[in-house]
Every structure is written in structure tokens, then in C-alpha cells.
Amino acid sequence: MTGTDASVAQPVSASGQRLATIDILRGLIIVIMVLDHVRDYTHISGFKINPLDFQQTNTILYLTRWVTHLCAPTFIFLAGVSAWLQNVRGKSGAALSGFLLTRGLWLIVLEVTVVGFGWSFALPMPLFLAILWAIGWSMIALSALVWLPRRAVLAIGIAIIGLHDLADGINADPLGLFGGLWHFLFQVNIFKFAGFDILLLYPVLPWIGVIALGYGMGDVFLKPDRNRILTLCGLGLFIGFVLLRLSNLYGDPRPWAVQALPAHTLMDFFNVAKYPPSLLYTAATLGIVFLLTPGLDRLPGKVASILRTFGSVPMMAYLGHLYIMHLVSMAAHMIAGQSLATQFNPLAIAFFNPAAAPDDSFLPLWVTYLCWVITLCLLYPLCHYWSAMKQRRKDWWLSYL
């Protein structure tokens, strides 16, 4: 979901070459993201239970869900990094600002059209304002921030990430005319507008902090000691997460507690808020990603090549996987003789009326993993073809896909 793939600037070095590590990292995140979305469509945890609630889940299901927490912050962080790399390459000032503005608006349009139908396979469909909504508005905000020095943008990003939890106790409902703005910036909302059911799942302000952080840290990816810096940053973030989480003083709206079983205590400890992303959520996820990134340089060549293919055309990978995994899930339900009731407008069922999902419309978790592998196998040729075509051709419209 980055690069001239209609969301952010391409991840290029000062010499104009794409940075392989960024594409590989983004490809890894795409692979993980597909698992989460397949689980939404095949397993009961997409509808009726919270896979992060230790009272409802098990270890494998918990880890299956928790690892996908890495996706959204990494996508948006890399969007900021890639914008900075475009700046280094020479696209600065008005050109970069205009690019970010138009790509941000394009992503918002995609979210409520192509993406919305991919989730739903039915009309009318609910408007699901999620990751592309967040990236789009974050890019629009960054289009203004890029006029500032990089270090100023970095400071703004750190300040937003670190301080926005001060507003956790404020509810939008009593704010009257400002309530809508408060939801837009800070608070999840489910509402109706012009006859549409709308789920605002990604309030934008914390994500603006993440994209600003990526832009501010973009210079790190051009340094010879990049891996050392990322490792130190990752350790700092993760240690900070542990210490602040232990204190239960600040950084997440939901405190943890010691439970009867050690495994349940760990599950409760790491169950931090994503909607919107708390300081502790961002610290834990980006901390892990920073620690993982140096290891991507040592992946076997074939694995790195596959991940790089996914990561080089992230917008096509994102759009394509929605339709492929939805069809794969439908096929799995049909083969298993299960109801297709949850396969049409599933988001409307999951968020607006979960009790309406019939009990015979869910598949075992091992089927989720099988459907995940099948989806990736079907998605890869599409991404490989699209990547090769974008290397051969420079048509203007390709920059939107």
C-alpha cells in the first residue's frame, strides 16, 4: 500500500534505486495481514468472540491475532519513510506535498468503493473506514508537514504518539458539534449517514503521529549503520513498553492484571488497544518491527524474493487479496457444507449484528491457515505479473495501482 502504488512515494534511495529491505518488510507485513483477514472470514473469532480476550481464546488463536497487530503501524510508518526517501531523491516542496495530497485522497476514495465491495460482496454495503482511510488522511496531514524540517516532523510524530492518550477519558457524545471531529481524530464510532451504516474504526490522529515518525526517521534507512540504529530503537521501544505497561499508569486505556494462569497474565499484559492505537500498542509493535528488520537482510534468497514481490506492488496486493481471500473463504464454506450467511456483508454482521451470524457458518482454525496459504499462492502470480509490468511500462495510471 505504498509507493506510487497509490498511497506513498516509492521506497527509493538517494541513487534512485528501490531499497530492497523496505519492500521485503512490507511484503512480510502483507503476508501477515492476509492471515488476519482470512481469519475474519473463516473463524468464529471474526464474528462472535474476541481472540485477544484470555477468557474466550486459546494460545494459538491469541498469537494468530496478536501478530497481525504489526501490520497497520508498519504500513503507515513505511509510508512516512517512503515519503522522506522521495524528498531525498529530489521530489521536495510543492511536488512532494501535492503527491501526498492526491494519493491520500485517492486512498480514501478506494476505501469506500473498491475496498468496501471487496469486504462485502453485497449492496448496499457498510462504509468501513479502516487502514486506507487512516493512510489517506495521514498522507494528507503529511502533505502539510513536509514543509517543515525533518526533525520538526519527527518531534511532532513523537509528541502525537506519546501524548494522545491524555485524551482517553474524553467522550465525544457530550461535545455537541465538536463530537464528530472528536470521533474523526480520537474515538471509534458506529453511525448512520445518508442511509449508510458507517464504521469509523481508525480515528486518524494517532496514525498521523506514526506517519510523521516514519518521515522523521526516514534518514535512518540511508545510513550505513541502519541495522544498529533500528536495533537500538527497537530495544528502547520494547523495554519502554514493558516498563510503562507494568506500571499501569499511562499509555493504554485498559489496565492489565495478574490472572490465575501465567499464560492468561501474559495475554492480558499484551492486550493493548489498537482502535485507536495507544502509545503502548505503537511502542510494542514498532519495537518488534525495528528488531526484526535487520534480520530481513539474511533471509534465504527465494524467501526474500517472494516477500519483495508482494512488497513491491502493495496496493495491488491489498486490493487483490481482498477479493481472492473472500472467494477462497466462500469456496471453503461450500466444500465443508457450511452456511454462506457470513460471507455477504460480513462486516455488517460482525459490527452491527454479530448475533445474526449462524453457529454453523464457521470453520476450524486449521482451515483458516489452509485458506491463508491458498490465498497467498493465488495472490503471488498477480503481484509478480503486476511488478514486472510496472518495471516495463511507465503509464501514468499505473501509479494509482
Q: According to the model, what pLDDT value does residue 374 have?
A: 98
Q: Name all contacts of 229-236 with Cβ < 8 Å and 24+ positions apart.
A: 230/290, 230/291, 230/293, 230/294, 231/290, 231/291, 231/294, 233/287, 233/290, 234/286, 234/287, 234/288, 234/289, 234/290, 234/291, 234/292, 234/293, 235/287, 235/291, 236/287
pLDDT value at residue 399: 65
Per-residue confidence (pLDDT) for residue 9, from 0 to 100: 37
- Nearest-angstrom CA–CA distance, 287 and 245: 14
Distance (Å, whole) CA 152 – CA 155: 5
- pLDDT tens per residue across span 259-308: 999 999 999 999 999 999 999 999 999 999 999 999 999 999 999 999 99
User: What span, in angstroms and rounded, lies between the C-alpha atoms of 126 and 113?
Assistant: 10
Confidence (pLDDT) at 18: 65
**What pLDDT shows up at residue 357?**
83
CA–CA dist 11, 382 (Å, integer): 21
pLDDT for position 90: 83
pLDDT along the chain (401 residues), means of 10: 37 58 96 97 93 97 98 98 92 90 96 95 90 97 97 98 96 90 94 86 98 97 95 98 98 97 98 97 98 95 96 95 98 94 88 82 96 98 92 72 72
Q: Percentage of the chain surpassing pLDDT 90?
A: 79
| The predicted structure's pLDDT at residue 1 | 39
pLDDT at 118: 95
**In this predicted structure, what is the pLDDT of residue 394?**
76
